[in-house]
Amino acid sequence: MTVNLLSVAKLPPLLDQSLQDRYNFIRLSEVSDSELESLSPSIRAIAANGESVVPGSFMARFPNVEILSVFGVGYDGIDVPSATEQGIIVTNTPDVLTDDVADHAIALLLSIARQVPQADRFLRADRWPNGGYPFTRKVTGARLGIVGLGRIGVTIARRAEAFGMDISYTSRQKRDKVPYLFHDDFIALAKAVDFLIVTTFGGESTRHLINADVLDALGPHGFLINVARGSVVDEATLIEYLQDGRIAGAALDVFETEPNVPQALRALPNVVLTPHMASATHETRAAMSNLFLANLEAHFSGAPIPARVPQ
């Protein structure tokens, strides 16, 4: 019997197609409330992505859901305790995207320090004949702070080693076996570095962790890079600090209310902004899709699930 799967997220077209081939695919955005009501007892799987917000009250509408599969490593929008209580397995797609997110973090760091997009705009505007582009910030040998030294943080640190950067971090706990300096508070970390990269979990526990105090500590020569979740940074305060030159610049792949990015942020010259695309390469999105499908398939065939989130 084909399993009824409800998709609550926009997924890549190829994955969408694979799900339609394998499951009885129901798209949340295409069914009315009453249709959903009558379908609800038949739904056994929910497909979501890293940006999805799925509260326990939503899951409770589907008494026979067994698995909620997330396309992405982050699952901060999913109420995992409620899922566990309701006997729903939650899966995600870690590891396969680590390299891409680390690559993108380094790309953002280089872009904001060396002002690559700004210089590109300068050239296209034919401003070069009137004089060269102003000097930028050297990266090699600079001090890098990483907020959250998980798999992605460590991979960024390894890349930064190749730039001779002096690396320190903060994390829920000090990591053994890494040669980087541990700070047990964000302010001390921000004070000690030129570039601060945020790679921590999203969700309530890290909401607005990067606030005025951390930005003050980073200071007028410091740069902020965020590839984690927009919620980790107090975006309104960040905008004020950028406007006033109280920090030097920011390079952001994630925002508080995606896909809407405040005009005040877009108007700033000292930012580099990308549309939540750190893991969006052909190769990695294919690998994420395969892992996403493998999680579902393993569950429904009774095999061990490759990537189940901790409960």
Q: Show which residues are catalytic.
A: 229, 258, 276
Measured from the CB atom, the residue of 97 and 154 that comes closer to ligand 8YV is 97
Mark the segment that binds ligand 8YV (CB under 6 A) among 53-61, 69-77, 174-182, 212-220.
Answer: 69-77
List 97, 109, 112, 193, residue binding ligand 8YV (CB under 6 A): 97
List 201, 276, 294, 305, residue binding ligand 8YV (CB under 6 A): 276
Measured from the CB atom, the residue of 101 and 190 that comes closer to ligand 8YV is 101
Question: What would the DSSP string read from start to end of the chain?
Answer: -PPEEEE-S---HHHHHHHHHHSEEEEGGGS-HHHHHHHGGGEEEEEEETT--B-HHHHTT-TT--EEEEESS--TTB-HHHHHHTT-EEE---STTHHHHHHHHHHHHHHHHHTHHHHHHHHHTT-GGG-PPPP----TT-EEEEE--SHHHHHHHHHHHTTT-EEEEE-SSPPTT--SEE-SSHHHHHHT-SEEEE----SGGGTT-B-HHHHHHH-TT-EEEE-S-GGGB-HHHHHHHHHTTSSSEEEES--TBTTB--HHHHT-TTEEE--S-TT-SHHHHHHHHHHHHHHHHHHHHTPPPS-BPP-
Residue 71 found at the interface with ligand 8YV (CB under 6 A): yes
List 50, 77, 153, 249, residue binding ligand 8YV (CB under 6 A): 50
List 19, 51, 148, 171, residue binding ligand 8YV (CB under 6 A): 51
Measured from the CB atom, the residue of 44 and 285 that comes closer to ligand 8YV is 285
Residue 74 found at the interface with ligand 8YV (CB under 6 A): yes
Mark the segment that binds ligand 8YV (CB under 6 A) among 44-52, 82-90, 183-191, 260-268.
Answer: 44-52
Measured from the CB atom, the residue of 43 and 227 that comes closer to ligand 8YV is 227
Shortest Cβ 101–ligand 8YV spacing (Å): 7
User: Given the rule CB under 6 A, which residues bind ligand 8YV?
Assistant: 49-51, 71-74, 97, 276, 279
